[in-house]
A = this chain, B = another copy of it.
Amino acid sequence: MNAESPAQRTTKQRSAVSAVLNETEGFNSAQDLHAILRERGESVGLTTVYRTLQGLADAGEIDVMRPPDGDYLYRRCSQGHHHHLVCRSCGRAVEVEGPAVESWAEKVAAKHGFKDVSHTVEIFGTCPECAAKH
């Protein structure tokens, strides 16, 4: 029992969910993704969407975000640690890095003796396109 067999199966539903995540440039809720799939004629249950997203999130293949209000949002992202500049209106997101923020967080936590430190940083705003639409 050492050969860690993923036993992860490739199904039509998972491929469909993954495909939508590849094509969308913003954060979407599980229900959004489910609606998109239905519009396309793909028949995937909402339960499966939730379960697939959980799996992808656990595997670190997608980013999960929680806005100040509302539900969980998901998005396929590049590898590595980064943060997001998210449009409040359309959900479009830009990946941003902030080395200074990382070190600042580490320093602050260390100063107070906190261990196992992690952090969340999200920037919200209205993107140029949405601002233009008035």
**Taking beta carbons and an 8 Å cutoff, which residues of A are in contact with B?**
64, 66, 68, 85, 87-88, 94, 96, 98, 100-101, 104-105, 108-109, 112-128, 131
Number of copies: 2
Bound: A119/B68 CA distance, A: 10
Smallest beta-carbon distance A30→chain B, Å:
14
For A113, list chain B residues within 8 Å (CB): 127-128, 131
Bound: A88/B119 CA distance, A: 11
Are the C-beta atoms of A104 and B98 separated by less than 8 Å? Answer: yes
Are the C-beta atoms of B109 and A100 separated by less than 8 Å? Answer: no
Smallest beta-carbon distance A97→chain B, Å:
9
| A124/B117 contact (C-beta < 8 A), A66-B68, A68-B66, A98-B108 known | yes
10 residue pairs A–B, Cβ–Cβ below 8 Å: A66-B66, A66-B68, A101-B101, A108-B123, A109-B125, A113-B131, A114-B126, A115-B126, A116-B126, A121-B121
For A101, list chain B residues within 8 Å (CB): 98, 100-101, 104, 121
| CB-contact partner of A119 in B87, B109, B112, B124, under 8 A | B124
For A88, list chain B residues within 8 Å (CB): 116
Are the C-beta atoms of A109 and B131 separated by less than 8 Å? Answer: no
For A68, list chain B residues within 8 Å (CB): 64, 66, 120
